[in-house]
Structure 1
Amino acid sequence: MKRKIHLLAAVFFTALSTFAQGNGIGGITDATNMVTSYFDPGTQLIYAIGAVVGLIGGIKVYNKFSSGDPDTGKTAASWFGACIFLIVAATILRSFFL
């Protein structure tokens, strides 16, 4: 009886390890497809965030310009730089990973 249990356990663990061993190519392919499917919506989201940040920056710069603040040029340059960074970052990330 004990010998049968040991034999059954050996067969079970051999079958289990056989199912666990695989080359993993199917899993890697599925993971790659899942990650690349998120890039288009992610890129659109970054562009939308850039548009909102640009509008807020434009309003802020307009308010500073209207009030006669001498620091208007620096504020405009920083907001413009932030918008350009978001657009360039989205484009570069897309070109790296797709």
Structure 2
Amino acid sequence: MILKVKRKLLLTAVGAVTAVSAFSQDGAAGIEEANSQVRSYFEPGTNLMYAIGAVLGLVGAVKVFQKWNAGDQDTGKVAAAWFGSCIFLVVVATVLQSFFGL
């Protein structure tokens, strides 16, 4: 009776070790696949960030122009905010590209 229990425990342990080694091999392939998929999204993502920066720049230019023509006192503050947001988007896209080595 004790021998049967020990044999079952041994078979269970061998099965667990086999399963872990099989999962680790598939896990490494899965991680590599996920890595390649995530890296494939970076170039379109950075292009999207550049496009959003361009649109924000145009909208900001129109808004600043309207404030300037209206004679508002806070035209400089609005211009700095819009310009800063555009620069931020470009810097983030560039840093992400250089950080991930794309």
The aligned length equals 98
> Kindly, what percent of the aligned residue pairs are identical?
52
Distance change in 2, residues 1:65/1:14 (3 Å) = closer
User: Could you tell me which residue of structure 2 aligns to residue 30 of structure 1?
Assistant: 33
Where does structure 1 differ by over 4 angstroms across 4 or more consecutive aligned residues? 12-18
- TM-score normalised over the length of structure 1: 0.78
The separation in 1 between residues aligned to 2:19 and 2:71, in whole angstroms, is 75
Structure 1 segments unaligned to the other structure (5+ residues): 1-5, 7-11
Structure 2 segments unaligned to the other structure (5+ residues): 1-7, 9-14
TM-align CA RMSD: 2.7
- TM-score normalised over the length of structure 2: 0.75
Match of 1:45 among 24, 44, 48: 48
User: Could you tell me which residue of structure 2 aligns to residue 89 of structure 1?
Assistant: 92
